[in-house]
Chains A and B, each alone.
Chain A
Amino acid sequence: MVDAATSRDRERWQRAWDTAAAVTDPEIPVLTIDDLGVLREVMLGDDGRVEVAITPTYSGCPAMNMIAVEIALALECAGFPDATVRTVLSPAWTTDWMSEAGRRKLSDYGIAPPLPSSSRRALFGVQQVGCPQCGSTDTELLSEFGSTSCKALWRCKACREPFDYFKCH
């Protein structure tokens, strides 16, 4: 038998998780921090306060500060005042943590998702990046650095559309 307090806590924890998990990346608004694998842990303290742990992506990603602010704000609006957001460095984030749903959303949004392995081979080896517009793999790298630190700029030789590629990390 589950006592009432435990079940209430569980419901509150779930609500806190769902609230934090729904926060989106300010630079790629179709992705939630849950899709990205940035959201690591949500804890409910004895005093009812929520503590959220996130793992930063790229060292220089300016979106991380904003994500932390938005998590606290979303929790505040959902009835969890004074939430704290902690940054956890270890284990280091990798694009392998991005969910399948996240990869699909990225592709639908026009950004080629990261290749599935963040191994050094994927970082340096021959890359076969598919065009998110027409699906062709006849693509070429235009610039290793793109509009944000997580992206490179590619072009599809079949449909001639340039597109962003979410780099392996």
Chain B
Amino acid sequence: MATPSITVTETPLVLYALRRADDALILGHRLSEWCGYAPMLEEDMALSNIALDLIGQARALYAYAAHVEGRDNDEDKLAYLRDVRQYRNLLLVERPNGDFAQTIARQFFYSAFADLYWRSMMRSADPTLAAVAARSEKESAYHLRHASEWIVRLGDGTDESHARAQAAIDDLWAFTGEMFTVDDTERGLIDAGVAVDPATLIPKWTDTVSDLMREATLKLPENAWMQQGGRDGRHSEHLGHLLSELQYMQRSFPGASW
């Protein structure tokens, strides 16, 4: 019989750590799907390395969430034994890999945010989150550079690569707004200096993205309507498929290890 899901007591701090951990895990898993399939060996290594960084960030955040929650959950249970509605990641990171341009555009939007976010979080009043941030900001900066170079290469490349890059930007744009949303549970943490108010990151993020689009001869869509729901567990159909692959072994063979 399959292992049932755990329950999590989502105090504001637990929920806050879980949301960021879920972002990193799901995006890391998505990138790991490229392993062995990337367009060239260097990219195979790059995407796998970025996946490793993200999954490492997720581990630290899950371990912290479990510690703060103070029950018998741990990083593995949080990753393997929560169902779709219990996942709190951004809808952006669960978007399917699509073609290489889709993967890179998703990575660019997220990394441009993560770079600013983790840099600000180094000043968090929470020492563990500040420590996770100190490592993650260097990694995010590196990821951002990698994705930025590809955006320019694809956008300012051939007609085919330009068209694909533009289609990817158009498709993913509506998922970027969720990165900057704040709900009541996070408002308290922001006031306490534990969390960063993501609204303060919008001007710089917009500059980074707009400047690069110009360099890559790409256009940002004009629509301002943004999709959201992931932070509250309302996901697209894609996350369920991803989790069935991610969690299959632990669900079917509880505690399996090697």
- Which A positions have Cβ atoms within 8 angstroms of B? 56, 58-62, 89-93, 118, 120, 123-124, 142-147, 149, 153, 167, 169
Contacts and interface: CB of A to CB of B under 8 A. Distances in A.
B130 to A, nearest CB: 7
B201 to A, nearest CB: 17
Given A59-B53, A143-B42, A90 B145 contact: no
Contact of B128 (A90, A145, A146): A90
Contacts of A153: 42
B134 A92 contact: yes
Given A60-B53, A124-B141, A145 B135 contact: no
Given A59-B139, A92-B131, A92-B134, A145 B54 contact: no
Given A59-B60, A60-B53, A120 B135 contact: no
Contacts of A145: 42, 45-46, 48-50, 146
Given A92-B134, A92-B135, A93-B135, A144 B127 contact: no
Contact of A118 (B46, B49, B59, B138): B138
22 contacts: A56-B135, A59-B52, A59-B56, A59-B59, A59-B135, A60-B49, A60-B54, A60-B56, A61-B52, A61-B56, A89-B132, A89-B135, A91-B131, A92-B134, A118-B138, A123-B141, A142-B42, A143-B46, A144-B142, A167-B142, A169-B135, A169-B138
Interface string B108-142: 00000000000000000001101110111011011
